[in-house]
Amino acid sequence: MRIGIVNDMRAACEALRRVVDSLPDHEVAWTASDGVEAVALAKRDRPDLILMDLLMPHMDGAQATRQIMAAAPCAILVVTATVSGNISLVYDAMGYGALDAVDTPMLGPAGEVSGAGALVEKIGVIAKLVGPAGESRRRPQPRAGGAPPRLLVVGASTGGPKALADLLLPLPQDWNVATVIVQHVDVAFAQGLAKWLGDRTGRSVRVAEHGQHPQAGDVLLAGTNDHLALSKDRSLEYRADPREVFFRPSVDVFFGSVAEHWPQIGVAILLTGMGKDGAKGLATLRGRGWHTIAQDEATSVVWSMPKAAIDAGAACEVLAIDQMARVVTARLGG
């Protein structure tokens, strides 16, 4: 079965992931940090089973269960820190369609998982109900040869977080475009930035995972101190090379890989930032027929990166940040 994990605690997510990974013929489909993100992911990629926490920010597990069962029904197992301590919410969730409830396994200091027996047993029972490997609902990640979504790629540095929020907020909430962002930020702050952008824009913004294929509706953020790049099979990967590139992750490295491997033209944007990273990559994308946009001086905190791109002839348009969503939507569709 393909299993979705919903929990706002990193240790709990890791414990659940390890349990799922230990089971033959089971795999983690995705993880969500709250009910809002879980509903969005379930609509886009319905798994065979969801392990649903109860107490989470933005939307609790009972309400998430209600919305998922209305929009993308699938098996839901409540997995919470203490079933007995949250019995009212447990009954609410089961009233909305959850099948059962179990306490969350614990991740120990040495990385061991304890208390997983009851969860494993319940997953086994649900697997028999769903059917072998959940083939009737299997929705694998698209691979090379499938129709890829339209793509929006964005590079940013100094002043980027606010500019990214201003760009994303007015874009259509439900549209068939994948968005991938490279922001100069240390790995220690990447998860926090993704959450902050999600809170500011009402979107599910996630850190890109190695091997992930961008899908329609995704908003993915480069999340390590290595370079994010697109590989030949259109999956995202993190690379240490080129090591001599100062900015990590590099906008140039990512834009260049997209120009090489993405099969259709999209829109590329270079936002506020210090230095020249992104100018070369934006020029390469423009040469491949992409519509390229650089942020104007008036709305940039630091105009070095967009200016370098403009000076290199890499930008089809120079726009204020509040003008970009309209142009992007017109180019990529609503």
Give 167-219 pLDDT, tens digit per residue. 999 999 888 899 999 998 877 788 888 988 998 898 899 999 999 999 999 99
**8 A C-beta contact, residue 61 and residue 37:** no
Q: Transcribe 58-84 into DSSP letters.
A: SS-HHHHHHHHHHHS--EEEEEES-TG
CA–centroid distance for 96 within its chain: 27
The average confidence (pLDDT) of the chain is 89
What distances in angstroms separate CA 312 from CA 268, 307, 315, one per listed residue? 15, 8, 8
Question: Is residue 287 over pLDDT 80?
Answer: yes
Q: Cα(165)–Cα(78) distance, rounded to whole angstroms?
A: 33
Domain boundary among 112, 137, 162: 137
Q: Considering the domain boundaries, does residue 143 fall inside one?
A: no
CATH number for the domain spanning 51: value is 3.40.50.2300
Query: In this prediction, what percent of the chain has a pLDDT beyond 70?
Result: 94
Q: Are residues 205 and 115 in the same domain?
A: no
Q: Are residues 126 and 51 in the same domain?
A: yes
Domain boundary among 95, 116, 137: 137
Structure tokens at 257: 């890989």
Q: Amino acid identity of 68?
A: I
Looking at the structure of the chain, the number of domains it has is 2
Q: Are residues 131 and 159 in the same domain?
A: no
Q: Are residues 80 and 171 in the same domain?
A: no
pLDDT top residue among 242 and 134? 242
CA–centroid distance for 276 within its chain: 27
Q: Are residues 202 and 94 in the same domain?
A: no
Q: Are residues 127 and 157 in the same domain?
A: no
Q: Are residues 115 and 156 in the same domain?
A: no
322 band by pLDDT with thresholds 50, 70 and 90:
very high
Q: Are residues 169 and 315 in the same domain?
A: yes
* Number of C-beta neighbours around residue 134 at 10 A: 23
Q: Compute the average pLDDT of residues 219-224.
A: 94
Q: Considering the domain boundaries, does residue 156 fall inside one?
A: yes
In the chain, what is the straight-line distance between the N-terminal and C-terminal CA atoms, in Å? 33
Q: Cα(229)–Cα(19) distance, rounded to whole angstroms?
A: 30
CA–centroid distance for 9 within its chain: 17
- Interval 26-51: pLDDT, tens: 999 999 999 999 999 999 999 999 99
C-alpha dihedral (300, 306, 310, 312), degrees to nearest 10? 160
DSSP H or E segment with residue 113: strand 113-114
**pLDDT at site 202:** 87
Q: Which domain holds residue 205?
A: 150-332
**What residues are annotated to the active site?**
157, 184, 277
CATH number for the domain spanning 225: value is 3.40.50.180
Q: Cα(236)–Cα(258) distance, rounded to whole angstroms?
A: 10
Q: Are residues 225 and 115 in the same domain?
A: no
90-99, 133-142, 164-173, 287-296: the lowest-pLDDT one:
133-142
Q: Considering the domain boundaries, does residue 54 fall inside one?
A: yes
Structure tokens at 21: 């990974």
Q: Considering the domain boundaries, does residue 229 fall inside one?
A: yes
Q: Considering the domain boundaries, does residue 145 fall inside one?
A: no
**pLDDT at site 143:** 44
Q: Are residues 209 and 319 in the same domain?
A: yes
* Number of C-beta neighbours around residue 261 at 10 A: 15
Q: Are residues 155 and 249 in the same domain?
A: yes
Q: Are residues 99 and 166 in the same domain?
A: no
Q: Any bridge partners for residue 183, and if so which?
A: 156
Q: Considering the domain boundaries, does residue 10 fall inside one?
A: yes
- Interval 104-127: pLDDT, tens: 998 877 778 888 899 999 998 888
Q: Cα(334)–Cα(329) distance, rounded to whole angstroms?
A: 6
Q: Cα(295)–Cα(323) distance, rounded to whole angstroms?
A: 10
pLDDT top residue among 137 and 55? 55
Q: Considering the domain boundaries, does residue 112 fall inside one?
A: yes
Q: Considering the domain boundaries, does residue 142 fall inside one?
A: no
Domain boundary among 137, 167, 202: 137
